[in-house]
Amino acid sequence: MNEMKLIGLGAAYPSRLVTNDDLSQQMDTSDAWIYPRTGIHARRFCSAEESAVTLAIEAAGKALAEAESQGVPASAIGAIVVASMSADLATPSIAAILQRELRLPEVPALDINAACSGFIYGLEVARSLAAVSGRRYALVVGTEQLSRLLSMEDRSTAILFGDGAGAAVIECTETAENREEAAPYVRLFGSRGSDVILAPGVYTGAYEARKTAQAAGGDAAATAEVQASTGDTADTEAAHSGAGDEREATNAETVCIDHMLMDGKEVFMFACDIIPRIIGGLLEQSGETMEDIDHVVCHQANARIIRHVYRAMHWPAEKFFMNMETLGNTSAASIPTALYDMQQQGRLQRGERLILAGFGGGLTWGGCILNYDAPTR
């Protein structure tokens, strides 16, 4: 039976605080409009000297230091996994940069992108890679600089997201099935393959152009075949002359997104549906009940979503931690920063059982039950 424990936590927050009142100076909005709908009063944005990488280094350093205080040196780390949808570079990965900057062992290191579910996916990937390395410990980081993906003219997304990083050192062990005090690590993952959340990357627009063409008149290849059979060579001649290349570039440019887009209603409905299913599925796997769980840490997207979950499931509100009020939605960083804030506020005790539940872009989702075994404040 697998067990997973959190033995070190860390977080890093950018220096620039952006309140709802600040946003009201840039767009048609207000704290009175934003807070009741989201539970967010403020968020933090990176300065020119900060990024997803610099935040990750700071957060990871804190988590490693805490693990070392418990007798787990950095040299014991068997894998480094970073979850992010806003990395500074396509390569090297943030994980590779952490490996170099923090002088970590030559072990597997990679970035993953499961959007706001990323940290939970990262735990599972790190567990597997640490086993490959023959080690029990791994470093998992969620870090984001979402502010660089936002348009301050789009209040549907600009009011929601912020920057930040959270990190955890985990211990993964195998225990006997019949051990009386065993507390299993269980997990669930899935995705619905949706594009209701879009964020720009190194992107040509080809996929969106193809969708637009198909919606307008069907398959482009079929159109070309008809043209060839009828002797209509206008497009072919244009392509050979170079005019076709210019047209395609123009089409790609018109569909290429330059900031994050989201269908908020669709995401809200998805989250309210999937989180209770994640929690119920995890408890069914582990054979536990509500009384066995000390805390539920959901992706910190919207306070209304979390309130809906505990009311629909008839769970005590105090089991559900929320910190989006001052940080906003930090995507892959939201769950580890919530864990760090809980620790700093003295809300976590050794041996407690935690449910983590995430959802995000692609309509990915994931959840796990694990143990807290880091220091108590």
Among candidates 355, 7, 15, which has minimal Cα distance to 187?
A: 355
Alpha carbon distance 357, 338 (integer Å): 12
Percent composition of the chain: helix, strand, coil (DSSP 3-state, to 5): 45, 20, 30
The answer to whether the beta carbons of residues 328 and 18 sit under 8 Å apart is no
Count CA atoms within 13 Å of residue 20 on its CB side. 19
Q: Residue 131 has which token pair?
A: 């086993």
20, 302, 323, 329: which one is catalytic? Answer: 329
Alpha carbon distance 111, 120 (integer Å): 13
116, 272, 298, 368: which one is catalytic? Answer: 116
299, 302, 323, 371: which one is catalytic? Answer: 299
Pairing type for strands 137-144 and 164-174 reads antiparallel
Instruction: Examine the residue annotation and report whether 329 is marked as an active-site residue of this protein.
Output: yes
Alpha carbon distance 39, 323 (integer Å): 9
Q: Residue 134 has which token pair?
A: 């023959």
Whether residue 184 has a cis bond before it, omega within 30° of 0: no
Among candidates 39, 51, 64, which has minimal Cα distance to 15?
A: 51
Alpha carbon distance 238, 222 (integer Å): 18
Instruction: Examine the residue annotation and report whether 368 is marked as an active-site residue of this protein.
Output: no
Instruction: Examine the residue annotation and report whether 299 is marked as an active-site residue of this protein.
Output: yes
Residues catalogued as catalytic: 116, 299, 329
